[in-house]
Amino acid sequence: MIDLAKSRVLVTGGAGFIGSALIWALNRQNADDILVCDILGSDEKWRNLASLRFDDYLDAEELLQLLDSDSPVLNDIRVVFHLGACSTTTEPNLAYLLKNNYGYTKTIGDWAARHRVRFVYASSAATYGDGSAGMQDSEDNLDQLRPLNGYAFSKHRYDLYAWRHGLLDRFVGLKYFNVFGPNENHKNEMRSMVNKAYAQIKQTGRIELFKSYRPEFADGEQKRDFLYIKDAVEMTLHLAMQPSAHGLFNLGAGRARSWNELARAVFSALELKPEIMFVDMPEVLRGKYQYFTEANIQKLLATGYSGPRFTLEEAVLDYVRNYLAPGKLLGP
């Protein structure tokens, strides 16, 4: 087993939602020899790092230069968690998405392969598209998947590249499902429904959910596999530490739950009576909307992982009462 507390670790996207939560989880394992890479602009993302322990910070462009030159600065890195990406599912600039999500991942992954560094990278459940080709985390059907948006396409391209070049025999690709929890405030419209719902309730007393445009799904009965961030990073670290783990892995709760159930869990955490209003889905989303996602996590469980610690209701309660209500981030 890889001892992360004794390994120098690189985390890209380290100031982001999953990245900063991962550093928090590493710190809880007494790991702080961490090189953080991100792009810090004018938003408040930097606050996610304020209470975390790490050795140094690099801008994404600086890291690219070091990778391209095979700089000795990176010689001590033993594990790379590549979580940096543009995660905006409505981003229309495909050239940007391919450069940022596909090209950057190729560069750092190829470097890791040359230097025999453990490489764990973020893919996405969005790569499954409408689910008609299944949601099995196997390489056997990769070329049958049809993503529904540019973000998912850019992620899927790297999965295909890693598969075709034999890199999945060594790398770990993580297909995160609907992750939610503290440290996501900077994501604006890409925040989870729990985060948005809390704000809606505080402002209006109700939660707005999209109407369904498929007869087999009633309004609010569209379903997702919701995964709490604390479980997501625990799964991530578990796979990183298992030298025999390789390939693609679904990271989810393993159970689909409806938006109505999620909304009721938020009201319950606030001890309020549910008040749900159904609104029109924007035209731009209707042909790209996933009505059902559920992670088959048998491959993850086969590595010795015992399963998620939080139910949906427990996760929402922890998030609302311990982070959203007091305005806290993950920290010591």
Say what percent of the chain tops pLDDT 90. Answer: 89
Structural domains in the chain, CATH included, are: 4-178+226-252 (3.40.50.720)
Q: Is the pTM of this model over 0.85?
A: yes
Instruction: Pick out the chain residues at pLDDT < 50.
Output: none
151 is known as an active-site residue? yes
Rounded-to-integer distance, Cα 185 and Cα 28, Å: 22
CA distances from 258 to 128, 193, 254 (A): 19, 12, 13
- pLDDT at 88 (0 to 100): 87
Which pair of structure tokens corresponds to residue 103? 């090209």
Q: Which residues contact 210 (CB under 8 A, 6 or more apart)?
A: 222, 259, 278, 279, 280, 281, 285, 289
β-pairing verdict for 226-228 and 207-210: unpaired
User: Residues near 164 by Cβ (< 8 Å), separated by ≥ 6?
Assistant: none
Task: Identify whether the C-beta of residue 13 lies closer than 8 Å to the C-beta of residue 83.
Answer: yes
Given this model, what pLDDT does residue 285 score?
A: 85
Amino acid at 25: A
Share of the chain above pLDDT 70, in %: 100
- How many whole angstroms separate alpha carbon 51 and alpha carbon 182? 14
The one-letter amino acid code at 289 reads Y
DSSP letters of 39-104?
A: ---SSSGGGGGTT---SEEEEHHHHHHHHHTT-GGGTTEEEEEE------TT---HHHHIIIIIIH
> Tokens standing for 159?
């999965």
Residue among 187, 213, 288, 289 flagged as catalytic: 187
Q: What is the dihedral of CA 294, 299, 304, 310, to 10 degrees?
A: -10
- Catalytic residue, from 102, 104, 128, 151: name it: 151
Per-residue pLDDT tens over the stretch 149-170: 999 999 999 999 999 999 999 9
Q: Indicate if 187 belongs to the active site.
A: yes
What pLDDT score was predicted for residue 1? 87
Pairing status of strand 34-38 against strand 56-59: parallel
